[in-house]
Amino acid sequence: MPKVIVDGIEVELAAGERINGIQAAQRAGVEIPHYCWHAGLTVVASCRMCLVETGSRNPDTGDVTMVPKLVPACQTPATPNTVFITNSEKVSNARAMVEEDLLIDHPIDCPICDKAGECNLQDYHFKYGQDQRRADIRPFTSRKREMGDTVTLFVDRCVMCTRCVRFTREISGTSELFVINRGSHEEIDVFPGYPLENRMSGNVVDLCPVGALGDKDFLYKQRVWFMRKHDGVCTGCSTGCSISVEENQDTVYRLKPRENPHINQWWMCDEGRYGYHHVHSDRRLTDVQRRDGVNWTLLEWSQVVREIDERFRNVGRVAVVLSPHLTVEEAYLLGKYAREVDPQAQVVLGPVPVEGTDETFKNGFTIRAEKAPNRRGVEEVVTHFMGQVATLDNLLISLANSEPTAVWVSGGYKSNWIDAAAADQIASAAACLVVHDTFDSPLTEKATYRLPEGTFAEREGSYVNFNERLQSVPWAIRPPAGVRVAGSVYLELLGEVGLYKARRVLVEVAERIVYFAAAAEPVGPLGVDLKTPVLEATPTA
Amino acid sequence: MTTAAKQIMPFEPVLLANIHKPDSHTLRVYEAGGGYQGLRKVLKEKTPTEFIEVVKSSNLRGRGGAGFPTGLKWSFLPKDHPGPVYMCINADESEPGTFNNRILMELDPHQVIEGIILSCYATKAVTAYLYIRVEYPTCYQRLQQAIDECYAANLLGKNIAGSDFSLDIFLHRGAAAYICGEETGLIESLEGKRAWPRIKPPFPAVEGVFRKPTVVNNIETAACVTQIAARGVEWFKSIGVPSDPNNPRDPGSYGPKLYCLSGHVNKPGCYEAPLGITCRQLIDEYGGGIWKGRKAKAAIPGGISMGLFTEAEFDTPLDFAGPGKVGCLGLGTAAVVVLDETVSMVDFLHNSCRFFAHESCGQCTPCREGTHWSLSMLERIKAGKGRLKDLDLLLEIGDTIGIIPGTTICGLSDGAAWPIKNAIRKFRPEFEEYIKRTNPTGYMVTEAVNALPVVALH
Amino acid sequence: MGVLTEEMIAAIKDFFPRYPTRQAVTLPALHIVNERLRYVPLEAVVEIAQLLELAPAQVQDTLSFYGYFKQDKPHGETRAWVCRSIACALRDGEQVLDHMCHVAGIHPGETTKDDKLTIEFAECLGACEYAPCMLAGDVLHKNLTNESAEAFVKQTCTGHGGNGQAGAKH
């Protein structure tokens, strides 16, 4: 196996693998500090923070010959027998020099800078910088410059890594950001009248290694060390970007993309990134209510599930509408419950919101018009129960021609998803209509039971994106008082006790539905490709 | 030990042979003097590869500042590349003290053009871009005129002089940035972007302008190519300093060189001499000695980037190996600027630091911040708020920035570093005296001090 | 019609066949506009970008790298670049520059009120044998003294003589 050596530690390379010194060192557990390098952008090697000593080891004799000058690890390929040294005095002096250089004109804004706590300049200063200020001091705070609707630039904090400029040129292809002037007078700017306004603009804030680029949505709202991060999936569209949901005490403060080479690489779109405010909207439903004539009666969760179950069994005919915002596990459980009560129960796919057309950027990243995270997953669950994909339209037709039916409609949509006409159709055909949703809609007006549902941030489970990739994520925050997430409700409907654990349900789904077979094995943080062929499981006793 | 230069006076100029003729810049005068005979001969008698070997065997080293062997650079081009191959001629001459390219372009542009055509023939380039600094308008006019004459005379364009070889030369004006003289800075500028030098590898020979194989050569180098074609390799190698027989890697310093002499001498000017004359010989025998009856104090050996000779070091030969022996960066552009005994080294270093801070492209941290910090310190020292510690900090900057330690992308920072290192190390007592005298209460402070208010420096 | 005239656009397009990319025509285009307008306003940058199929940000990026192109208003009819590098500084070039600015009543980079003269400092003009020197338009002024510099300013600002034309047309 080809190897490279980092500080004496051997790192194996896969055949034909092309990585650089920084990545090789990561594998050896060694951090090579850097600002300008990013695996998703071209290599410029301009920050000079990743300077290391390099050489080669003779595979036969074991002799190591080192190159006399420092080289940037980001532009040095880790070819077999390359030797990297990161812990010599030469290297530490070089790092201290770069840190000192960057701090010469960098305003020490830490107490008022959002980036504190996740700032490369801070972190590297503590680890690799000098403890004495030697340069001429010029105390000042940074000027602010508007880049667009989503991003603010604190001009003087910039370290000229140019990641943001390269992003707009190479990834979004929109070229709004550029560098002005020359030498130490260089700054980042936008051309007057051409602000940063592409739909991936928020990514430049992720890329900025210091507090120069600020996200207007997040600015001054929360200190990063108070937040906890949870793996998540963006539920904005069927691309299903892997994300990180960052919260403190059950309030979501921001979403960030999570690196996933199979789906979104390092990016997410603005719609997804800023699409969490509905989680804390004061319009969210929080009361369990039953309509009695013209009045609404408040109920308790502890009573209502059993009450609904009794009524559904009384009516006998059941239909359930599975929202494409439900997880695979939730969709399955609701379908399972429906069939338990009524072996002929209709299990259909709820309305799938579509807005505009797919937008693809220069590097291939696509924001999809299908604005739901799990149509594929829910479709397959529906197919499992019905033999084919059945939709709400199919249901409305069959409801028109059948006896009174108890209908459970699941929601979890971010905004208006059903109009008054369709709502009327469902309500008039339903003997008992349960709507479990996040916000009021024409349908909740007509419901028999109006139940408050959780949002994506409160939900654990799995989603299948446009490309048949399944991702499983935990919940990030607890729902507000009065709200109960679908999974736990369905578990109670089915008469099971205990805490809702999506994984257990997914295992059952993987056993019962061939499409999901690849999810029988524990699903890693990058998800699993359901198109992976899976061997027949050995039948267990 | 390199042998001393041969008798230099009188040296019959070759590169400057034409410049005093009336209308020297015209095709008529150039051809009347034997111009383009070399080209015609090479086109008839040598293949491109053969001519590369000719230039290689002459050990011609690039005249732009780095002294890299020209034939060797040409041979780095990939053999079977589908092309096109591009030639970039570096006429961005901006190294302070240097003006020999200007003289060649203004007064003998055809000698340069013939060299370009020969170089393109050898490297199979089909297009040559002559990147010329915007501060040389007369050169631009003369070159364009000469190029137009060549097209009319079938010396450019299709099937040059009846051969299979076709070539276009286009002039491309810069916009006053020193870094465009760096080969990949030039390439980026030519491509229409900011002139931020590229990281290497890939080298321009493999992936240059428009991502195609490219050779970047200097104006004077092109003129030498013309003379090698006209007069032969033996002639070229009969001039200058032979390679050190004990060092197989030494290509020697062959051929004539245009030395620029300016500063505190009686006769500043451009003088042609064999490579290897000493600084003292240049000043005394060509430059008329130090002006105003004064004594010399120091001299820049090859453009300000190369550092400083002290007067005691004036006997150093000005060839590719000489200046390095006394702690200078190298021969550079062989532009000697003389400082007399009245010059303050603080003023000198301030001028140098100001130049490099202004011209730093700003791409990489050590150069962008290091040149800026050096200038801040020199401003403060000049203003009477200097500290002895500043000298140590300046030396530290000088010792750590550059492609030689590997901390920067290009050699501009080595050029910024060398004047700092040479000036302070060779004239430290003067700096210390100045600091102590102008800042008697603060010169021993070691904690960081406040910067001077930011004045519009640029 | 925008800031770029038909003639300018045609002149810029003449450069297209010389290069395999449009972006390479950026500097030639900037010079063409600068020669005619004596500056390159933001509107011109937008129009150049359209011609070259680039974003305005890309053209502005290149433009602002060089200190050469003014953008707020045209420079004077004559633009005089006075060298401040080492060879000229050794022969009192900086004092001559100071004196010139004093006589003209402006700082380096500024233009006289009558719009006749802009004085700039330059880095090495490549004429060190004639230090201190100044490039005004296409004319190189050699061996400047306070007196010759003052005479130049007076000639230029009163409109006598055309010692320095603001850029040649190529």
Q: Is the pLDDT of residue A365 over 70?
A: yes
What pLDDT does B349 receive? 98
User: B3 CA to chain C: closest CA distance, Å?
Assistant: 30
In sequence order, what DSSP letters do the residues of B397-445 get, joined into one string?
A: HHHH-STTTT-SSSTHHHHHHHHHHHHHHHSHHHHHHHHHHH-TTTTT-
Average of pLDDT values for A49-77? 96
Q: For residue B134, give the CATH number of its domain.
A: 3.40.50.11540
Which of C19, C30, C168 is opposite residue B137, by nearest beta carbon?
Answer: C168
CA gap A536, A74 in Å, rounded: 44
C contact residues 61-120, partner A, Cβ 8 Å cutoff:
61, 64-67
User: B182 CA to chain A: closest CA distance, Å?
Assistant: 15
Residue A192 or residue A137, greater confidence = A192
**Does residue B351 share a domain with residue B312?**
no
Q: Pick one of 3.30.360.10, 1.10.1510.10, 3.40.50.740, 3.30.565.10 as the CATH number of A289-537.
A: 3.40.50.740
CA gap A517, A506 in Å, rounded: 10
Which of A70, A136, A181 is opposite residue B407, by nearest beta carbon?
Answer: A70
**Does residue B177 share a domain with residue B50?**
yes
What pLDDT does C153 receive? 96
Closest residue in A to B392 (Cα) is A134
Q: Is the pLDDT of residue B192 over 60?
A: yes
Q: CB B267: neighbour CB atoms within 10 A? A: 13
Average of pLDDT values for B321-350? 97
Does B134 sit within 8 Å of C31, measured CB to CB? Answer: yes
Domain A103-280 of CATH type 3.40.50.720: no
DSSP alpha helix (H) spans, A322-450? 328-341, 375-386, 392-400, 420-429, 442-446
If you average pLDDT over every residue of chain A, what do you get? 95
Q: For residue B404, give the CATH number of its domain.
A: 1.20.1440.230
Q: Does residue A326 contact residue A410 with C-beta atoms inside 8 Å?
A: yes
Chain C residue numbers with beta carbons less than 8 Å from the beta carbon of B168 are 18
Q: Where are the domains of chain A?
A: 3-87, 103-280, 289-537
CA gap B267, B248 in Å, rounded: 39
CA gap A492, A334 in Å, rounded: 11
What pLDDT does A540 receive? 57
**Does residue B230 share a domain with residue B131?**
yes
If you average pLDDT over every residue of chain B, what do you get? 95
Which of C21, C87, C138 is opposite residue B137, by nearest beta carbon?
Answer: C138
Domain A3-87 - what CATH class?
alpha beta
Closest residue in A to C57 (Cα) is A191
Does B191 sit within 8 Å of C123, measured CB to CB? Answer: no
**Does residue B349 share a domain with residue B327?**
no
Quote ipTM for the complex. 0.94
Tens-place pLDDT, residues B46-62: 999 999 999 999 999 99
User: A190 CA to chain C: closest CA distance, Å?
Assistant: 7
Tens-place pLDDT, residues B140-183: 999 999 999 999 999 999 999 999 999 999 999 999 999 999 99
Average of pLDDT values for B347-374? 97
Chain A residue numbers with beta carbons less than 8 Å from the beta carbon of B403 are 69
Closest residue in A to B397 (Cα) is A97
Q: For residue B301, give the CATH number of its domain.
A: 3.10.20.600
**pLDDT-based confidence at residue C159 (cuts at 50, 70, 90):** low
What pLDDT does B458 receive? 42
Tens-place pLDDT, residues B436-447: 999 999 999 999
- When mean pLDDT is compared across A207-216, A281-290, A421-430, the lowest value belongs to A421-430
Does A183 sit within 8 Å of B359, measured CB to CB? Answer: yes
What pLDDT does A139 receive? 82
DSSP state of A155: G
Q: Is the pLDDT of residue C170 over 70?
A: no
What pLDDT does B456 receive? 46
Chain C residue numbers with beta carbons less than 8 Å from the beta carbon of B268 are 87, 128-131
What pLDDT does C158 receive? 77
User: C78 CA to chain B: closest CA distance, Å?
Assistant: 14
Q: Is the pLDDT of residue B259 over 80?
A: yes
Tens-place pLDDT, residues A130-147: 988 898 888 888 999 999
Tens-place pLDDT, residues A396-447: 999 888 888 999 999 999 888 998 998 998 998 899 999 999 999 999 999 9
**Does residue B199 share a domain with residue B105?**
yes
Residue B400 or residue C163, greater confidence = B400
- When mean pLDDT is compared across A139-143, A236-240, A304-308, B7-11, the lowest value belongs to B7-11
Domain that residue B180 falls in: 2-238
DSSP state of B337: E
Q: Is the pLDDT of residue B5 over 70?
A: no
Q: Is the pLDDT of residue A49 over 50?
A: yes
Closest residue in C to B337 (Cα) is C87
Q: Is the pLDDT of residue C162 over 70?
A: no
Cβ-defined contacts of A29-33 (< 8 Å, 24+): A30/A6, A30/A86, A30/A87, A32/A73, A32/A86, A33/A95, A33/A120, A33/A124, A33/A127, A33/A128
**pLDDT-based confidence at residue B291 (cuts at 50, 70, 90):** very high
In order of their start, the domains of chain C are 6-65 (1.10.10), 78-156 (3.40.30.10)
